[in-house]
Structure 1
């Protein structure tokens, strides 16, 4: 019997082959919105499912198979990485049952983004490409544009995923933002992430990562 994570890794492999990413090594992280409007998705298991689906990507890309995790509302928390050995009940055990985490408030993205940048460019700077999946359900504050622009010199690609029914005005402008060394961010919107197949999700997640890798190599942002 194959576990769901094994089946998902096979689907990720198909996507990697299609997008010519099979030889790429990358660090993978996920940033999870934990504002008030996300409460139902945490409690009904949707966020746990998202973590498991993204873990399959990390398992194929990352040399140690770990998915780095952050959550944020007005505050943020950097959490233990999740692996194939300990993903069961990760959200319940590490987020919902963790009283140290500020949860279900309003959103403020720049502080958590600065911490992501700090981890990969200061604390653990080894030049490996970094693929960040940023889950958000209510639009973002406009100052993220400055953070993304400043971060374009770093080996980090930001894949924003909007879920739910907000208009995501700021995120929809990412592809036309000027002043960056390379286009280091992408956005797509899913009304209901739980209703999207793994095949479609992985195809969309990895849609612009290859072109960023090419541009980042040309600019010597990554080796």
Structure 2
């Protein structure tokens, strides 16, 4: 059974019904029907991201993540962390108030800085631990480049491997850019030499992420999540059902 019914989505966010249906098809394809998880969204607020905010690409990602979250979590809300050099905001988006939410949030933020992953990761970890959730977390982490402190980002990911959190990184931008070499490295960090379980995935959405179909995006978001659930369960990282 889905966390939030189609009828409730039709009432709260009719513009997201198509996304909800597409997400549901992917959830079922990956054997996650009835699975519960907290869904987080982390978005890059560095200066190079300005065009993606201006053309609505970040809002589109937020809407897509809301559509997925409605199948995994029952509160109709997704915690969102905006980051650049520091953490710019820790807030949330909701099904019943999603339209224009990113624009409203960004209007209250300051200067768009550089790119620092680890502080955003720390903010997500703190939020999750403070929530007291017994469910695993799926963290959708979007960025358009590598971090200014690679060592810190790798250290946080490895430490977070002991927590019931899976990090799905998404790259926006030129597929051939070396900016994403670090994310590919994070995706392939050895187990157990560096981390107790493979707790991260990475895929590239291209320079125009809006051209990626909803079905493909959801399949990429969920592609490695079931394997992590199984491995983390075997290691006792997840609470027993």
Please tell me the TM-score bracket, short chain as reference.
over 0.9
Q: Does 1:173 align with 2:180?
A: no
Contact kept in structure 2, 1:73 and 1:102, CA below 8 Å? no
Superposed CA deviations along residues 23-74 of structure 1, whole A, max 9, x for unmatched, are 1100001000010110011111111111111110111111212111010100
Gaps of 5+ in 2: 1-9
Q: Does 1:189 align with 2:192?
A: no
Contact kept in structure 2, 1:139 and 1:162, CA below 8 Å? no
- Partner of 1:49 in structure 2? 60
CA distance in 2, matches of 1:38, 1:67: 21
1:215–1:102 distance in 2 versus 1, CA, 3 Å: farther
Contact kept in structure 2, 1:153 and 1:181, CA below 8 Å? yes
CA distance in 2, matches of 1:127, 1:219: 16
- Partner of 1:18 in structure 2? 29
**How many pairs were matched up?**
218
CA distance in 1, matches of 2:31, 2:172: 27
Contact kept in structure 2, 1:76 and 1:102, CA below 8 Å? no
TM-score after normalising by structure 1: 0.93
C-alpha deviation, 1:197, in angstroms = 0.7
- Partner of 1:119 in structure 2? 127
CA distance in 2, matches of 1:128, 1:49: 26
Q: Does 1:220 align with 2:236?
A: yes
Partner residue of 1:160 out of 166, 169, 172: 169
Q: Secondary structure at the match of 1:169?
A: helix
Which runs of structure 1 show a deviation greater than 3 angstroms over 4 or more consecutive aligned residues? none
Q: Secondary structure at the match of 1:139?
A: coil
TM-score after normalising by structure 2: 0.87
CA distance in 2, matches of 1:130, 1:103: 30
Partner residue of 2:96 out of 75, 81, 85: 85
CA distance in 2, matches of 1:175, 1:75: 23
C-alpha deviation, 1:102, in angstroms = 3.6
